[in-house]
Chain A
């Protein structure tokens, strides 16, 4: 009996220990197997070529560098940053020539801002509307009509008319479309709304005390600058052989195993780059369905601040904004944020003086001639005439369907497409959206290697 009791005790002890060990040991083992990062042990000795040193290209390079992968960036222009740029010595604060608002706080760049202790502030500046030839605080009719269920695939312009927003709302609607980088007659109510529903970064807009360009320059570009080959206009991409051969306009060639293409959608649409073999037709059709219209920023400096913080609804420029909002110091700089048909019109005037004169005339109408009398200087940043950009940013056209998803797909596990227009998660048009595609395509490149 004693023996039996001992056996049972022994059995219980053993089985308890075995059971606990049986769960704990696999758990500890599994914990060790679970890696903290993707591709933790990747060892790739091939070369990745990146075309374009905008936010997407720079971020892709930054990730590749962190993984110890050989890469090179080919940049057409003599600078880097893409649609980011900085103007100093115009006002007593630095000016963003391109992207300048951080849209939402829930993003990878917001983490970078936090980590780098970059100063940003919420832009809650007040809005006035130029409506029926007068400046008013609020519109008589709600313009919140472009969101919700059951929206049709027609343009903003047509939908606004359908919903009873008459001609007096024309430039108010142009401003809404212009915010999306589009002309109201080309932007799809349906597809823009579908893409907006995917947006999850937050609706607040933030401004940089310094500039957006500084953030990307100091935190990202500085890490990969030495790998940028500037003034290199890519004219041909031959991916017919094992190695990809890229030829520039001076007939220099560059070879690579993988290629990340980050050029603006306009460059892909206008066939500035010849692909050998030609890209699949469904891809080129997809490119053609993604919109990107004209866009420019005109900075006007005045001797006094006669203007409001935001003026919406002008017929020459639908959106003016006080550029000193969010800056450490004040200056009388008004930004004319000109998009779509208005940017096309101002571009057609032919020179910067004519552009600022047209804008001053409009501001004189709004503010009883104060613009011209207090005008000091202007700076025109026309992204449309930049041959390597050719517009503002991408938007959803009528009939676009899933063009963005098709455009973003890789070709033969060799060509990978990044850039704001290739963001399929609703973050297109933004720097953070471009950054997301930059690291997304590095993930795709590394997945293709694993295959």
Chain B
């Protein structure tokens, strides 16, 4: 394990030296996925016995890292890896139901920055493959039936547009507030209704479009020669 961490650390440092820019983001994320809303709305509608309704999946946190390759062009390219987490929890007597939703995106990034005309401003266009895992916890324990965890895995393609403004902290390091909007036209997650409402195809579809927005901060390390 120690060797793995050391190798990863060396790889990280070496890559960072080779990179034009390395970025790490932390942000608040808002999500809208109408078919998942429908599944939760059906859950609440069909269970008058719960007094505290299950909240829709809306608010989450996102962390991502980007690696931009060295280039003299105004539009540079790189790779981006991001992780998001959303949670919906309802607390009823004997039935504390929690939905944990995780997203992992791996994408190709186009970075635009014009130091002369728009000093400090930059924008990123990211096209990524996205995957998700939705898990249900009941009364603090993973919900297990037939000896396996209740889960819904999903996959889709995502396009993201991000804009930020960089403020120099010291030397090569910058901090930038940013905003981003992401759109997934088709996200396939066939078991989602089964995890949320314990039914299949009753009120929602196997897929959903997803729209998210983000507001956050990016930490930049730049190797400008």
Bound CA–CA A63/B58 (angstroms): 26
Q: Which residues of A contact B49 (CB under 8 A)?
A: 111-112, 115-116, 219
Q: Which residues of B contact A200 (CB under 8 A)?
A: 191, 194, 198-200
Bound CA–CA A27/B214 (angstroms): 10
Q: Check if B133 is an interface residue, CB within 8 A of chain A.
A: no
Q: Check if B112 is an interface residue, CB within 8 A of chain A.
A: no
Per-position binary interface string of chain A over residues 90-122, scored 1 when its CB falls under 8 Å from any chain B CB and 0 otherwise: 000000000000001111101110111100000
Smallest CB gap from A203: residue in B = B146
Q: Which residues of B contact A34 (CB under 8 A)?
A: 32, 37, 56, 58
Contact B200 A425 (CB under 8 A): yes
Contact A23 B179 (CB under 8 A): yes
Q: Which residues of A contact B142 (CB under 8 A)?
A: none
Contact A37 B45 (CB under 8 A): yes
How many residues on the B side are at the interface (Cβ–Cβ under 8 A)?
Answer: 49
Contact A108 B202 (CB under 8 A): no
Contact B42 A38 (CB under 8 A): yes
Q: Check if B138 is an interface residue, CB within 8 A of chain A.
A: yes
Contact B46 A63 (CB under 8 A): yes
Nearest chain A CB to B193 CB, angstrom units: 9
Q: Which residues of A contact B42 (CB under 8 A)?
A: 38, 443
Q: Check if B50 is an interface residue, CB within 8 A of chain A.
A: yes
- B84-116 contacts to A, CB under 8 A, are 92-95, 97
- A176-196 contacts to B, CB under 8 A, are none
Nearest chain B CB to A5 CB, angstrom units: 11
Bound CA–CA A22/B179 (angstroms): 9
Q: Check if A16 is an interface residue, CB within 8 A of chain B.
A: yes
- A191-229 contacts to B, CB under 8 A, are 198, 200-204, 219
Q: Which residues of A contact B41 (CB under 8 A)?
A: 35-38
Contact B145 A36 (CB under 8 A): no
Smallest CB gap from B147: residue in A = A204
Q: Which residues of B contact A39 (CB under 8 A)?
A: 45
Nearest chain A CB to B53 CB, angstrom units: 5
Contact A202 B200 (CB under 8 A): no
Contact A443 B47 (CB under 8 A): no
Bound CA–CA A115/B54 (angstroms): 14
Q: Choose from B38, B143, B198, B201 the contact partner of A108 (Cβ within 8 Å).
A: B198
Q: Check if A270 is an interface residue, CB within 8 A of chain B.
A: no
Contact B215 A62 (CB under 8 A): no
- A409-451 contacts to B, CB under 8 A, are 425-427, 436, 439-440, 443
Smallest CB gap from A12: residue in B = B165
Contact A114 B146 (CB under 8 A): no
Contact B138 A114 (CB under 8 A): yes
Q: Which residues of B contact A37 (CB under 8 A)?
A: 41, 44-45, 53
Contact B53 A106 (CB under 8 A): no
Contacts A106-B198, A425-B202 given; does A115 touch B94 at CB 8 Å: yes
Contact A66 B145 (CB under 8 A): no
Contact B202 A27 (CB under 8 A): no
Q: Choose from B95, B150, B177, B213 the contact partner of A16 (Cβ within 8 Å).
A: B177
Q: Check if A354 is an interface residue, CB within 8 A of chain B.
A: no
Smallest CB gap from A443: residue in B = B203
Bound CA–CA A442/B39 (angstroms): 16
Contact A63 B44 (CB under 8 A): no
Q: Check if B120 is an interface residue, CB within 8 A of chain A.
A: yes
Q: Check if B63 is an interface residue, CB within 8 A of chain A.
A: no
Per-position binary interface string of chain B over residues 116-154, scored 1 when its CB falls under 8 Å from any chain A CB and 0 otherwise: 000010000000000000000011000101100010000
Bound CA–CA A426/B194 (angstroms): 13
Contact B47 A436 (CB under 8 A): no
Q: Which residues of A contact B79 (CB under 8 A)?
A: none
Q: Check if B68 is an interface residue, CB within 8 A of chain A.
A: no
Q: Which of A65, A114, A443 has the most CB of B within 10 A?
A: A114
Contact B53 A24 (CB under 8 A): no
Q: Choose from B40, B94, B97, B200 the contact partner of A117 (Cβ within 8 Å).
A: B94
Q: Which residues of B contact A271 (CB under 8 A)?
A: none
Per-position binary interface string of chain B over residues 161-199, scored 1 when its CB falls under 8 Å from any chain A CB and 0 otherwise: 001010000000000010101000000000100100111
Bound CA–CA A117/B179 (angstroms): 46
Nearest chain A CB to B106 CB, angstrom units: 24
Residues in B lying within 8 Å of A, measured CB to CB: 30, 32, 37-38, 40-42, 44-50, 53-56, 58-59, 92-95, 97, 120, 138-139, 143, 145-146, 150, 163, 165, 177, 179, 181, 191, 194, 197-203, 213-215
Residues in A lying within 8 Å of B, measured CB to CB: 12, 15-16, 19-20, 22-24, 26-27, 30-31, 34-39, 62-63, 65-66, 104-108, 110-112, 114-117, 198, 200-204, 219, 425-427, 436, 439-440, 443
15 A-B pairs in the complex with CB atoms less than 8 angstroms apart: A19-B179, A23-B30, A23-B214, A23-B215, A37-B44, A38-B42, A38-B44, A105-B145, A106-B143, A108-B197, A112-B49, A114-B138, A115-B95, A198-B200, A201-B198
